[in-house]
Amino acid sequence: MKEEMKWYKQEGSWSFDPPYDKDPETGEDLEKIPFEEYCKKLFDPNKVWDKPEALKGWRHISATMYILSPHVGATLGEFGAEVIKIELPKLGDPMRHTSPFNEVYLWPETDHRPMTGTGMGYLHANTNKYFVTLDYHAPEAKEIVYDLVRISDSLAECYRPGTFYRWGIGYPQLKEVNPRLIYIWLGGFGNYGPRRYGGSYDILGQAVGGLAAITGWHEDFGGHPAKQTNWLIDWYSGLIGVIGVLAAAHYRRKTGEGTFIDLSQISCATRATGYAFPLYGRFGVVRQRWGNWDTLLCVHGVIMVGKTDDPEHPNPQISEESRYVFVSAFQDEDFRELCYIIGRPDLWEKYCSLKERLKPEAQIEIYRALEEWAADKSRSEVVEILNNAGLIAVPVFSAKDVYECDHYWERGTLRWVDDPIFGNVLVHDCTVKMSETPPRAKWIWRPIGADNIRIYHELLGYPLSKLKELWEKGII
Amino acid sequence: MGEEKYEEKYIELEINDIKDTLLPRPWPVTPPRKKEEIYAPWVKDPRDPDGSYGKFIEENISWEKAEGKPWALDGITVLDCTIWGLAGATAGSYLAELGAEVIKVEPITGDPLRYLYPFGREEYAFEDIYTGEKVSPTFIHEQRNKYSITLNLEHPKGRELFKKLAAKADIVLENYPPGTFDEWGIGYRQLSKINPRLIYVWFGQLGQWGPMKDKTSKYGQWMLDPVGMAASEYIHSTGFPADLLPREKGGNPTRSGEWIADIVAGVWGTVAILAALYYRENVSNRGQFIEVAASEALMEILDFNISWYAFDGSIKARIGGWDPNLNQYAWNPCKDGYMMIGGQSDRLWYRILQVIAQEDPEGARLIAEDPFLKEMAARNALEGLIKTYTVTAHWLTKNTRAEAEVKMNAREVAAAPVLMIDEVAEYEHFIYRRHVTEVYDEHYGRVLIANSPLAHQHRTPARIKWVGRPLGLDNGEIFAKYLGLGPEEIKKLAKEGVTTWYHE
Amino acid sequence: MVYYWEHDCGWVNYLDPYYFWNWEGKVKCAGCDKVAYFKFVNGELLEYKEVDEEADIFPLYADNPNEGYVSIKVGTEGKTRPFRGLMRDPKTYTGEARTRTENFAGKFIRAMPNQPKKAGFAESRRFAWIDRTKSIDVWGKDNYPGKPIYGKFKVGEVAEEEHVEE
C-alpha cells in the first residue's frame, strides 16, 4: 500500500504516508506513544507552515461588505484559496470604519478619512485576501468582472437581490461567462419571497430568526432578550455559506456544473433554535428564555460567586465582572457530591433524579443555594474546590483570561501575526486542527486597492496605461 | 357578551392536566399570499423593471423546484458516533441534508440525548407510531436524514464490526472523552491503517490535548456545551451590563439559550470535513485527522475580542441588545415586545430620524441638532448610544412591533421585530420560503422543523427526507449493506449485547 | 416616556430604556438637582411628581439643548451614575488621550494626534472638533482649521486650547 501511495506525497511536506508508523523526523514509533503525545505531533502548531493547503488553486471572488459574506472568503482563504476582495474605490468596505466605541483603529490612514485607519471590526473577516477596487456602476466594470469570473471558481456577493443582475453581472449572466462558477448570495431575507428587499444585519437575523426569543433571562425574573454577542449569526451563517460552496465544489467535480446558492442568515439563526420548533408544532408550547440555566440538564449553569480574584484592578471587567463560574453536575453521583460540598444534603434527598432537578422550581432553589454557598468565595476558590472534588467547573473567561490561558497558546489558537503593514496583531488561528492541511492566517488585511496591480496587471494582464485610465475615471 | 362566551369556551376545554393543553398546532395558520400577488409590484419595481430576475429565481432557486434535483454529497458515507453533545450531531445533519449517507452509531441504550426532555417533562416526547418508543425533541431536531444503528463499542465484537464499517466509510465523527476510541483500538491511529482515505473528526469542548484538555468528572460525567461558551469568553460578553439592567433582574453574563458553541463547532467541523474531502479527491487521495474544540470554534467567530485585549488591554464587556460598534444597531423594548432597528450610515441614520420625527419631533430634534452626533463614527461613543436609544425607545413605547416595522420599512430601513418561536413559524416570508417546514415522517408523523439554510440552490439544494429514526431501526439494512449480516446473525449479536434488533 | 425634559432648567436627562422600562423610584435631574418621583410600566410614564426627598438613582447621561448641547457625561460625581460595564480602565474614559499605543507584545501599534481635554472621552470624539462642513478638498490642504499639530507636545501631554470647535 505504501508503494502505491507514494505518488501523492508532496515535496517539502512534513506530512507522512499512512500507515502512520513513524515520525519522519525522529523516527519515533508512533504506535507506542501515548495518545496525547500522538495528537501533539499530528497537530503541532509549529509544523502548520510545513504542511500543504487544502484549497490551493481555488480562486474566489469576494464582492462583499460587512461580516457575513466576507467571512466566506476569509474561511476559504484560510484553507488556502486565492481570494480577491473587491471594494468600492476610496471608501472601501464600511466595516473598515467600524470599531468599538470608535476607538480602535490600525494604521495606515485611508484617503477618505484623514484621521483614521482601519477599524478592528474589519479583523478576521478579511484574512488572506487580495484587495482590489472596482466601481460596479461603471459600464467598463462589467467586462472586468467577466474577466475575473472566467478564471475563478466561486463568487460571493451580498447586494440586494437583483442588483448585480441589473448591472449585468448577476448569476444568469455570469453562468454564461463561466458555467462552472459557484455563485453564492448571502443576506437577510433571500432572493425571493414577500420581504426579499428587506435589508438585514446580524442582529436582525437573531431577532426575527427566533434565537433572541430563547436567549436571556425570562421576563418573570425581570429579564430582556439578550443579543448573542459580536455578530455571531453573521459569522456562523458565513460558515454555512462555505459549506454550501464546498459541497457544490464536490458536485462540480463530478458534473462540471456551477450553481447559485441563496443563503438567508435568518434561516441560519432559525436552524440554531434546537427543539423549539418541533415542540411548538407538536404540543403548541412556545419555548421561552431560561437565562443562565439549562433546560435539558441540571446542575448545568452559570452562577455568580462572591468576589473576583482581583478586586483592586482598575478595569471593572476584571475587578467586578469576572466573578462567574460554570458548574456542571447533572448526573446523580455528581449532584450528590455537589450537594454535600455546599452543605445542603437536603437538596440531594429532595431532588435525587434528573427529572426532579429539572423542574423550574427545583432549578431556582438549587442555583440559589449554589450562589449562597459561593457568596463568600472568590472565583478561583470556587473552581478549585469543585475541581479538587472531581467535579466539572469552569470559570467564565474574560478576554484577559483567554489571553493568559496557556492552553490556547500551546494549541496555536492564539498567535501574534507580525503583519508587514500593521505590526503585531493577535489573531485566533488554526480554529480546526487538521493533521494534513491546517488552515492558517497569513495576513490580516491590506489597505484599499493594495493588490490592484497584482490582480489587474499581473493576473489579468491589463496594461498599466489602462489601469491609469481607469483610476483617473475613478473606477478602480 | 363576548367575554362571557369566551369564558364558557374556556370551561368547555376542561384542563385537568398539563397534557390537556399539549395539542398539535396547525401550520401554517395563515397561508402566505400567492406568488402572483407578491410579484405584482415587482413588475413595476425599478430594481427589476421587466421582472426577469424574479422569474429566474422563482423558476430555478425556489424550494418548490428542489424536487428531483441531485444531491451534492451523494455517495459519501459518514459514521456519526457522537453522543451527548450537539457538535457532531450538527455536522452530521448538515452533511445528511446535502445528501451524504449518515449512519448514527449509538450505544445499545441509545444516545442519552434521546432522553433529555425540556424541564424533564416526558410529556414532550415524540412517540414512534409503530412501537411507542419515546424520543426528545432536542434529539429529533438534529437527526434529519440519518440512519440509526446500534453498536456496543465497549464490546470487542462491536469494535470489530465498527472497524469493518469504518473501512468502507469516508468520514467518522466522534466526541468521546480524549483517547477513548484510541484505547478501544478504533481511534485514528488504527483506522487510518485500515482505511487511509478516512477523514476522522473529533469534537469536544476544549480539546483532546493541551494543558486544559477535556476531562470527565470523577464519576464519569462528560464536559458538555456551556463549557465551550464559558472558556471562549462568549458568556462574559453576552447579556446586559449591571448598569443597564440590575443584576437581580438579569444584568449578568448570559449564556445562549441553545448550545451554540456545539452548533458552531459542528459547522466548523463540516467546513473542515469538506475542505479535507476536496483535498482528498483532488490532490492526496487520503484522509486526515481533524479536531474541533467548541471553545476554539466559537472564539474564532467572536471577531476582535481577544485581539482587542492584546491591542490595548480592553476587555469586551456585555452591552445587552446594543452594540458598541454601530449606531443605530440594536433592539429596544417597544409597546408589545422588542423592536430591532438598524442603520448606521448617514443615509439610513437620518431616515430613522425622519420616521421618529413624525411622531416625536422633540426627541428627534435632540438627536438631529446635537453636534456630537453628526459624525457617523462619533455616534458610537457610549453617550451616543445612550442618547440615541433612549429617544428611539421613547418613540417605540407608542408603537407596536408591527407598526414600527411598517413605518421603518417604508423608508427601507432594516428593521424587524424580535419574534417569539410561534411568531417565527407564522411569519409570512418564512412560510413562503419554508425557513420552518413541516415534514411528514414515517415514524413520528407530522413534525415542524427548522429547514436547512442551504435549501435554496440551483443544482443541489439541501432537503429533509425524514426527521429521525427510532433506535437501531436501520441495523438490518446497514449491516446487510456493509457487513453482509442477515437478520438471524444480527439477532444473535443482539443476544450477546453487541447490537439491538428493532422489530423484536 | 423614557427620557424627560426639565423645562425649568432646560436639561434633558436620559433614562435608558432597559433599566427604567418597568421601574418606580426617584431620579435627580443632573442639571438642577431637582428630585422627581417616576413610575414606569412597560415604558409608559404612569406617575410623575416633584418631591423633596433623596434620589434613588441618577441618570446615566444628560445634556442641555439650549446651551449648544453641553453635556454631563457618564460618571460625573453627584450628577450622573457611573457606567461600570466599561471595556477599559475608567481612567481612559475621562479625557486622557493616549497618543501612543503599544500592544501587549510591547510593539508600537499606532499613534494619534493630541486633542483638547474638552473633547471628552479619550479617542471617542476625535472628529467633533474638526469642522465637518469642510470637504475632503479642504482637509487635504496643508492648513485647515483644527489640523492637529504633530510633535509639539510630549507623550501624554494634551493640547488644551489649540483646537477650538467652531
CATH number, domain of A358, equals 3.30.1540.10
CA-to-CA distance for A79 and C24, rounded, in angstroms?
55
Count Cβ–Cβ pairs < 8 Å, chain B vs chain C: 139
C-chain CB neighbours of B418 within 8 Å are none
Say whether pLDDT at A384 is over 80.
Answer: yes
Q: Which residue has the cell 456562523?
A: A236
Any chain C CB within 8 A of the CB of A420? no
Say whether pLDDT at C133 is over 70.
Answer: no
Q: Does the bond joining A108 to the residue before it have cis omega, within 30 degrees of 0?
A: yes
Q: Which of residues 217 through 276 in chain A touch C, CB cutoff 8 A?
A: 222, 224
Cβ count within 10 A of residue C8 = 10
Q: What is the pLDDT of residue A103?
A: 63
Q: At how many degrees (to 10) do helices A332-341 and A379-388 cross?
A: 130
Residue A423 to residue C84, Cβ atoms within 8 A: no
Residue B33 to residue A194, Cβ atoms within 8 A: yes
CA-to-CA distance for A185 and A69, rounded, in angstroms?
8
Give C7→chain A minimum CA distance, Å.
Answer: 31
Q: What is the pLDDT of residue A358?
A: 93
Any chain A CB within 8 A of the CB of C139? yes
Burial of B41 (0-12, 13-18, 19+ CB in 10 A): exposed
Q: Which of residues 12 through 71 in chain B touch C, CB cutoff 8 A?
A: none
Q: Which residue has the higher pLDDT, A305 or B46?
A: A305
Q: Tell me which amino acid residue B253 is.
A: P
Q: Which residue has the higher pLDDT, B35 or A289?
A: A289
Mean pLDDT value of segment B58-82: 92
Residue C43 to residue B397, Cβ atoms within 8 A: yes
- Asked if residue A155 and residue A117 are part of one domain, the reply reads yes
- Asked if residue A438 and residue A376 are part of one domain, the reply reads no
Mean pLDDT value of segment B367-375: 82
A-chain CB neighbours of C122 within 8 Å are 103
β-strands A432-434, A324-328: how paired? Answer: unpaired
C-chain CB neighbours of B340 within 8 Å are none
Mean pLDDT value of segment B488-492: 91
Question: Is the residue at A283 inside a domain?
Answer: no
Q: What is the pLDDT of residue A370?
A: 94
The DSSP letter of residue A95 is G
Cβ count within 10 A of residue B476 = 18
Say whether pLDDT at C127 is over 60.
Answer: no
Say whether pLDDT at A200 is over 80.
Answer: no
Query: What range defines the domain where residue A25 resides?
Result: 4-43
Q: What is the pLDDT of residue C108?
A: 62
Q: Which of A419-428, B271-280, C151-160 shows the lowest mean pLDDT across its residues?
A: C151-160
Q: What is the pLDDT of residue A397?
A: 93
CA-to-CA distance for B165 and B78, rounded, in angstroms?
10
Say whether pLDDT at B256 is over 70.
Answer: yes
Q: What is the pLDDT of residue C8?
A: 76
Test mutation, C11, C15, C18, C107, chain B, max B CBs within 10 A: C18
Say whether pLDDT at A18 is over 70.
Answer: no
Contact A108, A424 (CB under 8 A): no
Q: What is the pLDDT of residue A388?
A: 94
Mean pLDDT value of segment A306-312: 90
Q: Which of residues 366 through 395 in chain B touch C, CB cutoff 8 A?
A: 366, 369-372, 374-375, 377-378, 380-383, 386-387, 389-391, 393-394
Say whether pLDDT at B140 is over 60.
Answer: yes
CA-to-CA distance for B307 and B313, rounded, in angstroms?
9
- Asked if residue A262 and residue A146 are part of one domain, the reply reads yes
Q: What is the pLDDT of residue C109?
A: 61
- Asked if residue A187 and residue A88 are part of one domain, the reply reads yes
Minimal CA–CA distance to B175: which of B263, B84, B47, B284?
B84
For residue C35, the cross-strand partners are C28, C51
B-chain CB neighbours of C63 within 8 Å are 366, 370, 387
Give B492→chain A minimum CA distance, Å.
Answer: 33
A-chain CB neighbours of B247 within 8 Å are 304
Any chain A CB within 8 A of the CB of C74? no
- Asked if residue A255 and residue A133 are part of one domain, the reply reads yes
Residue in B with minimal Cα distance to C67: B370
Any chain C CB within 8 A of the CB of A100? yes
Element (H, E) at A317: helix A316-319
B-chain CB neighbours of A83 within 8 Å are none
Boundaries of every domain in chain B: 2-65, 77-300+439-461+470-496, 329-418
B-chain CB neighbours of A5 within 8 Å are 196, 285-286
What digits encode the pLDDT tens for the residues C137-165?
Answer: 544 455 544 444 444 444 444 444 444 33
3-class DSSP state of C44: strand
pTM of the model: 0.90
Q: What is the pLDDT of residue C164?
A: 37
Residue A103 to residue C123, Cβ atoms within 8 A: yes
Quote the number of domains for chain A: 3
Residue in A with minimal Cα distance to C108: A423
Say whether pLDDT at C136 is over 70.
Answer: no
CA-to-CA distance for C18 and B501, rounded, in angstroms?
56
Q: What is the pLDDT of residue C128?
A: 38
- Asked if residue A338 and residue A208 are part of one domain, the reply reads no
Of A56, A406, A432, the CB nearest to B272: A432
Q: What is the pLDDT of residue C154?
A: 42
| Mean pLDDT for chain B overall | 89
Q: What is the pLDDT of residue C103?
A: 65
The phi, psi pair for A150, rounded to 5°, reads -60, -30
* pLDDT tier at A4, thresholds 50, 70, 90: very low
Say whether pLDDT at B77 is over 60.
Answer: yes
| Mean pLDDT for chain A overall | 87
Q: Does the bond joining B328 to the residue before it have cis omega, within 30 degrees of 0?
A: yes
Residue C43 to residue B335, Cβ atoms within 8 A: yes
Q: What is the pLDDT of residue C110?
A: 58
Residue in B with minimal Cα distance to C60: B386
Q: What is the pLDDT of residue C99?
A: 54
Contact C162, C106 (CB under 8 A): no
3-class DSSP state of C26: strand
What digits encode the pLDDT tens for the residues A260-280?
Answer: 999 999 999 999 998 999 999
Q: What is the pLDDT of residue A162?
A: 86
Say whether pLDDT at B6 is over 90.
Answer: no
Q: What is the pLDDT of residue B481?
A: 92
Q: Which residue has the cell 459580536?
A: A230
Q: What is the pLDDT of residue B45?
A: 67
In the structure grid, which three cell numbers stand for residue B152, read together? 456496543
* pLDDT tier at A100, thresholds 50, 70, 90: confident
Say whether pLDDT at B294 is over 90.
Answer: yes
Residue A115 to residue C110, Cβ atoms within 8 A: no
Residue B244 to residue C14, Cβ atoms within 8 A: no
Say whether pLDDT at C1 is over 60.
Answer: no
Q: Which CATH superfamily is domain B77-300+439-461+470-496 in?
A: Crotonobetainyl-coa:carnitine coa-transferase; domain 1 (3.40.50.10540)
Q: Which residue has the higher pLDDT, A105 or B167?
A: B167
Q: What is the pLDDT of residue A102?
A: 63
Contact B241, B270 (CB under 8 A): no
Q: What is the pLDDT of residue B29?
A: 85
Q: What is the pLDDT of residue C114?
A: 45
Q: What is the pLDDT of residue B501?
A: 84
Mean pLDDT value of segment B227-237: 92
According to CATH, what is the number of the domain B329-418?
Answer: 3.30.1540
Minimal CA–CA distance to B141: which of B94, B106, B175?
B94
Say whether pLDDT at B392 is over 60.
Answer: yes
Q: At how many degrees (to 10) do helices A232-255 and B260-279 cross?
A: 30
Residue A423 to residue C108, Cβ atoms within 8 A: yes
Number of residues written out for chain C: 166
C-chain CB neighbours of A114 within 8 Å are 136, 139-140
Query: Left if phi > 0, otherwise alpha if psi is -120 to 50, otherwise beta: which for B190?
Result: alpha
Minimal CA–CA distance to B305: which of A403, C86, C84, A431?
A403
Q: Which of A68-82, A341-355, B42-56 shows the lowest mean pLDDT across its residues?
A: B42-56
Residue A399 to residue B182, Cβ atoms within 8 A: no
C-chain CB neighbours of A102 within 8 Å are 123-124
- Asked if residue A235 and residue A139 are part of one domain, the reply reads yes
* pLDDT tier at B13, thresholds 50, 70, 90: low
Residue A103 to residue C124, Cβ atoms within 8 A: yes
Test mutation, A40, A178, A279, chain B, max B CBs within 10 A: A279
Please compute Rg for chain B using Cα positions.
26
* pLDDT tier at A88, thresholds 50, 70, 90: confident
Say whether pLDDT at A151 is over 50.
Answer: yes
C-chain CB neighbours of B324 within 8 Å are 87
Of C21, C87, C110, the CB nearest to A106: C110
In the structure grid, which three cell numbers stand for residue B383, read together? 453617550
Contact A168, A175 (CB under 8 A): no
Q: What is the pLDDT of residue C112?
A: 52
Q: What is the pLDDT of residue B411?
A: 87
Q: Classify the C-alpha dihedral A464-A466-A472-A473 as positive or negative.
A: negative
A-chain CB neighbours of B421 within 8 Å are 210, 213-214, 273, 276-277, 280, 286-287
Q: What is the pLDDT of residue C2?
A: 52
C-chain CB neighbours of B382 within 8 Å are 74, 83, 93, 121, 124
